[in-house]
Structure 1
Amino acid sequence: MQGTLFINGLSGFLIVTALLVALAPRPVQAARFYALQSLVLVALFVSIAMTTGSTELYLWSASAFVTKVVLVPVIMTKMFRRLEDPELGSGAVMPAALSIVGAALIVILCYAVISRVTLPAALPLKPALAISLAHFFLGLGCIVGQRNILKQVFGYCLMENGSHLTLAILAPNAPELVEVGIATDAVFAVVIMAVLGMRISKTLGSLDARKLTTLKG
């Protein structure tokens, strides 16, 4: 009982760190906040493993720490440091206050949806499951609601973290190969999107997605 309460409470920090990533004024700062969020995700994996007795989740935790807490933020920091753009802080479609209110509404809506779920594995962790679903939509909102290309890359990372937590809650005994596949996809996707962002910045002199309106051969 105490384990599930801790997991449900700790999952709330994912929403806080997601907002920090989405609202960070500089890409390097956003990368550091993403590393912090991934550390919270690893702690959730360990807590779920202790509660469910899943040895697979301990392996998930180790691989997630290497890829999400260390590898991906280091890649982002090295690549994005060259792309410091004053437009990053002003690229949001919605102001910060409205983004926070929107995040709260998304969490409430997702909890209302998850409250109808009757899967045995999800019953004690419904708040955490609702937050994982809300986290996915927050990442999607970051992609849609941010005009800066780098922030859209972080939106993808947030979506991936939300999906990862959902899988850990609903299928804690899934083979380690599943987690390795997800983590590998995330690393390669971040590298590809970061490279594209660098090339776009060099070509257009900007990271504003609104300027990607003309195809040049």
Structure 2
Amino acid sequence: MHEFLFINGLSGLLIITALMVILSKKAINSAIYYAAQSFVIVVLFIFLGAQTGSGELYLWSFTAFITKVLLVPFIMYTMFRRLDDGELGSGQVMPAAFSAIGAALIVILCYAVVSGVTLPSAENLKPALAISLAHFFLGLFCIVAQRNILKQVFGYCLMENGSHLTLAILAPNAPELVEIGIATDAVFAVAIMAVLGTRIFGKFNSLDAGKLTTLKG
């Protein structure tokens, strides 16, 4: 029981790190916060594997460490440092205070939904499951509430982390091939979006998606 309490408590760090990613004004700092969050997910996979007896989750933790903690932040750092200032303030729509309030409301709503779930694998992990779902919607919230292109890339990363943890809780014995597919998709998606973001900045000298209103063929 104490192990489940630890997992539920540790998952709360995901919301804190997600807000740090969203509210940071520097792209490099957001990449560091994302790496820290991904490391928390790696630790959660290890403890979930120990509690469920799932050897697959140990492999998941190894793959997630290579891709989420090392590779994806490295791609972000390599691409985003090419920008003149690496600022994430342009195109911002949602103030910091409203972002924090929105995150709290999302967590509350997700916990209300999860409280009715009766799956055996999630019986003792409903707080962690609620946070994983909230984390997905928090990433979506970041994409919708921010016009900054790089913020939207980070929003996608947050969505992917949330769905990843949800899958680990609900299907701890899923084969490693599933994890490889998720990790590969995340790496290539982030690489493509980072390249597009830097090219857009080089063309328009702006990261505000709201300014991309003209298509030229």
TM category, shorter: over 0.9
TM-score (norm 2): 0.98
Q: Distance in 1 between matches of 2:107 and 2:53?
A: 28
Number of positions where the alignment pairs a residue of Structure 1 with one of Structure 2: 217
- Give the drift of 1:84: 4.5
**Superposed counterparts of 1:60-209, under 5 Å:** 60-85=60-85, 88-209=88-209
- Give the drift of 1:216: 1.0
Q: Distance in 1 between matches of 2:55 and 2:92?
A: 41
Q: 1:78-101 deviations in whole A, cap 9, x for unaligned?
A: 100112447522532111111111
Query: What is the percent sequence identity of the aligned residues?
Result: 74
Structure 2 gaps of 5+ residues are: none
For 2:184, give the aligned amino acid: T
Q: Distance in 2 between matches of 1:166 and 1:92?
A: 29
Q: Is the 8 A contact 1:138 1:158 kept in 2?
A: yes
Residue aligning to 2:38? 38
Q: Is the 8 A contact 1:140 1:156 kept in 2?
A: yes
Partner SS for 1:151:
helix
Residue aligning to 1:6? 6
Q: 1:117-169 deviations in whole A, cap 9, x for unaligned?
A: 11111111000000000000000011011111001000000000000000000
Residue aligning to 1:214? 214
Q: Is the 8 A contact 1:93 1:146 kept in 2?
A: yes
For 2:122, give the aligned amino acid: A
- Give the drift of 1:211: 0.7
Instruction: Let me know the Cα RMSD of the aligned residues.
Output: 1.0
For 2:9, give the aligned amino acid: G
Structure 1 gaps of 5+ residues are: none
- Give the drift of 1:35: 0.2
Q: Is the 8 A contact 2:150 2:197 kept in 1?
A: yes
Q: Is the 8 A contact 2:137 2:159 kept in 1?
A: yes
With over 3 angstroms needed to count, the CA separation of the structure-2 counterparts of 1:97 and 1:58, relative to structure 1, is: same
- Give the drift of 1:202: 1.2
Partner SS for 2:33:
helix
Q: Is the 8 A contact 2:90 2:206 kept in 1?
A: no
Partner SS for 2:97:
helix
For 1:176, give the aligned amino acid: E
Q: Distance in 2 between matches of 1:96 and 1:116?
A: 32
Moved more, 195-204 or 177-186: 195-204
Q: Is the 8 A contact 1:4 1:125 kept in 2?
A: yes
Q: Is the 8 A contact 1:49 1:55 kept in 2?
A: yes
